[in-house]
């Protein structure tokens, strides 16, 4: 026999979680003890539950799955925000919340950390709306089945789930976990459906002259990145990526043709998609943001959509066809069709050389982006926060192995600090560079203290343009002005007596260069470099993107 808490701990470790993120509370303390007892789990404290859930979201980007443990209501309500992000970003995060003693409802007790009624179901009901499975364990005997079935749903769908464990159940006895295959066994495509999808897709493409592959964000969660390269090699065509799929196809591949993001695309990417008579949309997600206010969406007639478990295009719709299997099968049936790659090379001039600014020059956004770009190595993971950081990051070239993380679907400003912290915990061998605006940083800045506590040598570039510049470009108002902070002093305040965090302020090109050289040497803690630039010194892409998103937001009511 084991206990409910230890059963859960075993399952979390079996799915590959080595570190779980927590904020303690009296409803989850016994559970935290049980998780801590497991030799394969390390507890990581967070400063609040919003950051805890975002750290788990970031950890899932690094490790494929994550767990965060919070207390009832006052904790879980904040954590819901990170769960929304995990849902939108296709990340299997397991939200675990303590909850009231199983006797309290029947005893008509009123309890702390509740809305002050006898209803203790509301949190579970809320969780059902933002997860693919939400369960409340009311009896120890039910724990094994509820835990197994809920965790399996997260693994199969790459979406978050919710498990609620009463404060008096974590140490109650239950049976030992069965084989891990119960939760880990993979699912295969339906063979006839897969065969039909591959055959019809090969036929569709054989009738096309100008084929392009468009890679979307779901290729990661579908574990299909290698299969995309296989298909690209077989076709020889141009391959472009959506902004939230940057780095999910190697930018050093000879057929890489850049980021397709309408007017915010990198050189030549939009033209080659517009020129194509077939666009193989792999794991793509078309939203108002990713299509620049619906101005950059390949026509339905040219789209062959290959999704996580479905293939759809003119006259064909095949279900239970898993992406990696479909792409590999298709790569064996298609013929070379390099027309779009040939054309892309005609269209695209060589990369413009950005000359370094003289050291004494006032720091510009362009010089800041140039110096950050030059730091990227194969071991780097760049986190680009919602803001002009998106547009700066999209333009940066990545060497083989470098990764790029962006939260374009949920777009919660402040995500990058806790998420990059969680990512760094999951992938300590990566050098994480985070680009975050001043407005975003102010939302979740406390989590830098955990970077100091764990001595994580992350470099944070804080883009200080004294306001919410994205919003300025969409629609300006006094509400876009924010209070300035002394960011360098703020970060160093977390050191107290023993921390090694460092803060720098760069107002010129030379100061930024010097700060970067110092930050590179600081291997015992985070280094934040405040890059002071003009409020209007933003990318031209942000200006155009903001214009079209504002237009999409401003459409008159139809009825």
* Residue numbers at the binding site for Mg ion (CB under 5 A): 437-439, 465, 469
DSSP 455-503: T---EEEEEE-SS-HHHHHHS--GGG------HHHHHHHTTTTT---EE
Residue 329 interaction partner, one of Mg ion, ligand DPX, none, beta carbon < 5-8 Å per kind: none
Contacts 24+ apart (CB under 8 A), 203-206: 204/278, 204/304, 204/313, 204/314, 204/316, 205/235, 205/278, 205/280, 205/304, 205/334, 205/337, 206/334, 206/335
CB of 435 to Mg ion, least distance (A): 11
Identify how many contiguous H helices and E strands the chain contains and give both numbers.
22, 21
Q: Which stretch binds ligand DPX (CB under 6 A): 59-67, 87-95, 283-291, 437-445?
A: 437-445
Kindly state whether residue 438 participates in binding ligand DPX, applying the rule CB under 6 A. Answer: yes
**438 labelled binding-site residue:** yes
Candidate list 440, 444, 452, 508; residue touching ligand DPX; CB under 6 A? 440
Candidate list 164, 309, 367, 388; residue touching ligand DPX; CB under 6 A? 388
How many whole angstroms separate alpha carbon 266 and alpha carbon 255? 15
How many whole angstroms separate alpha carbon 499 and alpha carbon 493? 9
Under 8 Å between Cβ of 188 and 157:
no
For 553, the token pair is 């937001």
Under 8 Å between Cβ of 225 and 213:
no
Kindly state whether residue 519 participates in binding ligand DPX, applying the rule CB under 6 A. Answer: no
Residue 196 interaction partner, one of ligand DPX, Mg ion, none, beta carbon < 5-8 Å per kind: none
How many whole angstroms separate alpha carbon 438 and alpha carbon 469? 10
For 48, other C-beta atoms within 10 Å of its C-beta total 17
Kindly state whether residue 413 participates in binding ligand DPX, applying the rule CB under 6 A. Answer: yes
CB of 96 to ligand DPX, least distance (A): 23
- Nearest residue (CB) to Mg ion, 240 versus 531: 531
* Dihedral sign from CA coordinates of 476, 482, 488, 494: negative
CB of 503 to ligand DPX, least distance (A): 18
CB of 479 to ligand DPX, least distance (A): 9
Residue 6 interaction partner, one of ligand DPX, Mg ion, none, beta carbon < 5-8 Å per kind: none
Closest by Cα among 442, 458, 441 to 450: 458
- Nearest residue (CB) to ligand DPX, 293 versus 467: 467
Residue least distant from Mg ion (Cβ): 437
**465 labelled binding-site residue:** yes
- Nearest residue (CB) to Mg ion, 270 versus 440: 440
**Local structure of 54: helix, strand or coil:** helix
CB of 387 to ligand DPX, least distance (A): 3
Distances (CA, A) of 177 to 13, 134, 162, 412: 12, 20, 19, 37
CB of 197 to ligand DPX, least distance (A): 37
Where b means 16+ CB within 10 Å and e means fewer, 476-505 reads eeeebebeebebbebbbebeeeebebbbbb
**414 labelled binding-site residue:** no
Closest by Cα among 438, 424, 430, 446 to 531: 438
- Nearest residue (CB) to Mg ion, 484 versus 518: 484
CB of 464 to Mg ion, least distance (A): 7
CB of 389 to ligand DPX, least distance (A): 6
Closest by Cα among 291, 282, 288, 144 to 216: 282
H-helix or E-strand containing 36? helix 29-37
SS3 per-residue string spanning 66-104: EEEEECCCCCHHHHHHHHHHHHHCCCCEEEEEEECCCCC
Quick note: the x/- pattern for ligand DPX over 460-499, rule CB under 6 A, is: ---x-x-xxxxx----------------------------
Kindly state whether residue 412 participates in binding ligand DPX, applying the rule CB under 6 A. Answer: yes
- Nearest residue (CB) to ligand DPX, 143 versus 413: 413
Residue 412 interaction partner, one of Mg ion, ligand DPX, none, beta carbon < 5-8 Å per kind: ligand DPX
CB of 69 to ligand DPX, least distance (A): 23
- Nearest residue (CB) to Mg ion, 126 versus 466: 466
Which residues between 328 and 387 bind ligand DPX (CB under 6 A)?
386-387
What secondary structure letter does DSSP report for 419? H
Candidate list 411, 481, 513, 514; residue touching ligand DPX; CB under 6 A? 411
Size of the site for ligand DPX (CB under 6 A): 18
Candidate list 437, 499, 501, 546; residue touching ligand DPX; CB under 6 A? 437
Kindly state whether residue 393 participates in binding ligand DPX, applying the rule CB under 6 A. Answer: no
Q: What are phi and psi of 177, to 5 degrees?
A: -65, 145
CB-neighbour burial class of residue 335 (10 A; exposed 0-12, middle 13-18, buried 19+)? exposed
Q: Which stretch binds ligand DPX (CB under 6 A): 241-249, 299-307, 311-319, 434-442?
A: 434-442
Annotated binding site for Mg(2+): 438, 465, 467
Question: Contact residues for ligand DPX (CB under 6 A)?
Answer: 386-389, 411-413, 437-440, 463, 465, 467-471
Annotated binding site: 438, 465, 467
């Amino acid at each position: 026999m084991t206990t409910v808490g230890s059963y859960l701990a075993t399952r979390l470790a079996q799915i590959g979680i080595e570190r779980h993120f927590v904020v303690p509370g009296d409803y989850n303390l016994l559970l935290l003890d049980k998780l801590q007892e497991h030799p394969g789990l390390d507890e990581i404290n967070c400063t609040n539950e919003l950051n805890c859930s975002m750290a788990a979201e970031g950890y899932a980007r690094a490790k494929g799955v994550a767990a965060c443990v919070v207390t009832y209501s006052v904790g879980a309500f904040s954590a819901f925000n990170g769960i929304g992000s995990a849902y939108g970003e296709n990340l299997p995060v397991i939200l675990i919340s303590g909850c009231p003693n199983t006797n309290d409802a029947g005893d008509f007790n009123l309890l702390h950390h509740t809305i002050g009624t006898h209803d203790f179901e509301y949190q579970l009901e809320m969780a059902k709306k933002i997860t693919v499975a939400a369960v409340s364990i009311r009896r120890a005997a039910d724990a094994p089945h509820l835990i197994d079935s809920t965790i399996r749903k997260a693994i199969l769908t790459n979406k978050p789930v919710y498990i609620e464990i009463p404060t008096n159940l974590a140490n109650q006895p239950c049976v030992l976990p069965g084989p891990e295959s119960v939760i880990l066994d993979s699912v295969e495509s339906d063979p006839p459906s897969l065969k039909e999808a591959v055959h019809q897709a090969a036929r569709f493409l054989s009738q096309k002259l100008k084929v392009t592959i468009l890679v979307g964000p779901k290729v990661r969660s579908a574990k299909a990145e290698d299969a995309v390269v296989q298909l690209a090699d077989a076709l020889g065509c141009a391959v472009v990526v959506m902004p939230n799929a940057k780095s999910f196809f190697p930018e050093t591949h000879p057929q890489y043709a850049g980021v397709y993001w309408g007017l915010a695309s990198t050189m030549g990417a939009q033209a080659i998609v517009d020129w194509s008579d077939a666009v193989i949309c792999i794991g793509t997600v078309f939203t108002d943001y990713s299509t620049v206010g619906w101005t950059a969406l390949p026509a339905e007639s040219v789209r062959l959509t290959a999704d996580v478990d479905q293939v759809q295009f003119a006259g064909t719709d095949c279900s239970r066809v898993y992406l990696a299997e479909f792409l590999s099968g298709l790569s064996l049936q298609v013929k070379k069709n390099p027309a779009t790659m040939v054309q892309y090379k005609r269209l695209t001039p060589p990369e413009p050389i950005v000359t370094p600014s003289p050291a004494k020059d006032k720091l510009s956004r362009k010089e800041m982006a140039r110096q950050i770009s030059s730091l990227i190595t194969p071991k780097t993971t760049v986190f680009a926060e919602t803001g002009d950081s998106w547009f700066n990051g999209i333009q940066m070239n990545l060497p083989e192995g470098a990764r790029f993380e962006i939260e374009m679907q949920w777009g919660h400003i402040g995500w990058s600090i806790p998420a990059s912290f969680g990512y760094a915990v999951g992938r300590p061998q990566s050098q994480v560079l985070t680009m975050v605006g001043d407005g975003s940083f102010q939302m979740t800045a406390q989590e830098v203290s955990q970077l100091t506590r764990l001595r994580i040598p992350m470099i944070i570039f804080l883009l200080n343009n004294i306001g919410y510049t994205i919003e300025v470009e969409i629609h300006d108002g006094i509400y876009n002005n924010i209070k300035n902070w002394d960011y360098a002093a703020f970060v160093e305040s977390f050191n107290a007596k023993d921390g090694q965090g460092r803060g720098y302020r760069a107002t010129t090109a030379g100061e930024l260069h010097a700060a970067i050289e110092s930050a590179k040497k600081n291997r015992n803690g985070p280094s934040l470099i405040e890059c002071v630039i003009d409020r209007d010194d933003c990318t031209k892409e942000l200006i155009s993107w903001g214009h079209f998103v504002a237009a999409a937001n401003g459409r008159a009511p139809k009825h």
